[in-house]
């Protein structure tokens, strides 16, 4: 079976869900977000169903779902719960899955574990969503370094936003990591626009 992909980001709101929807639509994969916070404002699962143009059956329910739009450990605490990593098991699905994280790789899950520990347990290959704008070099290189120190398989970085050639070159040079795709500003996010971006702006061989 083709390896699952874990979409993480250099920050919150960086474009993980758009990237996840793009990969679901373009690679014909299933979608799963194990930990969802901010559910009171809508879920990323619902967004992926809408943007990727798939049915809810192409996605899997969250293992943990919290209303507060805060870090997973804090969201759980505010609802009187604790996120147990042992309770997060890959869905029984023969299809490869696009797994979306919450926040970045060092976001706390509970008093002991970070998001990077969940990635390691799920044994998925990592795709990093990074902004194309000022500040992205530092944030992206730190994320790449954390993934490597955890011995995670790294597919590469996807730049999200208006093209910045200098930032892209710097990330590839100093991070020794490939930028495998770019998602430009989209006036409308839907299945056809996402597939078009994948065809025009992604290194498709990186995802085979």
Q: How far apart are CA 188 and CA 205, in angstroms?
A: 26
Catalytic residue among 16, 33, 169, 208: 33
Q: Does the annotation count 33 as an active-site position?
A: yes
Q: How far apart are CA 175 and CA 36, in angstroms?
A: 29
DSSP tag of 194: H
Find the helix or strand (DSSP H, E) in which 138 lies.
helix 136-149
Nearest-CA neighbor of 32 among 97, 87, 83? 97
DSSP tag of 87: G
The beta strands (E) that lie in 33-112 are given as 35-36, 59-60, 64-65, 97-100
Beta bridge partners of 151: none
Active site residues: 33
């Amino acid at each position: 079976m083709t390896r699952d992909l874990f979409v993480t980001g250099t920050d919150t709101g960086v474009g993980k869900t758009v990237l996840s929807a793009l990969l679901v639509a373009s690679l014909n994969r299933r979608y799963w977000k194990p930990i969802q916070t901010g559910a009171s404002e809508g879920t990323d699962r619902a967004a992926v169903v809408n943007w990727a143009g798939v049915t809810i059956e192409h996605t899997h329910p969250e293992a943990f779902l919290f209303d507060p739009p805060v870090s997973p450990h804090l969201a759980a605490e505010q609802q009187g719960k604790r996120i147990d990593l042992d309770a997060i098991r890959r869905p029984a699905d023969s299809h490869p899955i696009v797994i979306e994280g919450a926040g970045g790789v060092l976001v706390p899950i509970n008093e002991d574990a970070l998001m990077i520990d969940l990635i390691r347990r799920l044994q998925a290959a990592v795709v990093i969503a990074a902004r194309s704008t000022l500040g992205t070099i530092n944030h992206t290189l730190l994320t790449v370094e954390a993934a490597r120190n955890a011995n995670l398989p790294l597919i590469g970085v996807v730049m999200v936003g208006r093209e910045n050639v200098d930032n892209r070159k710097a990330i590839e040079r100093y991070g020794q990591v490939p930028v495998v795709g770019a998602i430009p500003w989209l006036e409308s996010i839907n299945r056809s626009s996402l597939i078009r971006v994948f065809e025009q702006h992604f290194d498709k061989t990186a995802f085979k």
